[in-house]
Amino acid sequence: MPMYYFNLRGNGEARDAEAPVDFANLDLAKSTVEKSIRVAFDVTPEEYQICALRLFFEICDEEGDVLDVVTFREAIVH
C-alpha cells in the first residue's frame, strides 16, 4: 500500500510529517485530510479566521515529491 506524508505549509509554517500514513490511493489520502481539517475546525467559513485559511497540506510520496495540495479553505468550504 502506498505511503503518504502530509506536510503543513503556509502562514510562515513549514512542518514536515514525521511519519508516513498508508492509503490505498491518492484520492483516499486527499479525502481523508479534507475530512480531518473539517472535523478539527468545525466552523463555517464565515467564522474561520482568514489567516488560518492560508494553511495547506502537501501530500507527498515516499520520495518527497508533492502529489497534491489540500488548502484549509478548500476543505472547509466544501
pLDDT tens for the chain, 78 residues: list them: 899 999 999 878 789 998 999 999 999 999 999 998 888 877 665 666 654 668 899 999 999 999 999 998 888 776
How many domains are contained in the chain?
1
> Do residues 65 and 32 touch, judged by C-beta distance below 8 A?
no
What is the value of pTM for the model shown?
Answer: 0.81
Q: Which residues, in sequence order, are bridge partners of residue 71?
A: 56
Domain range holding 7? 3-77
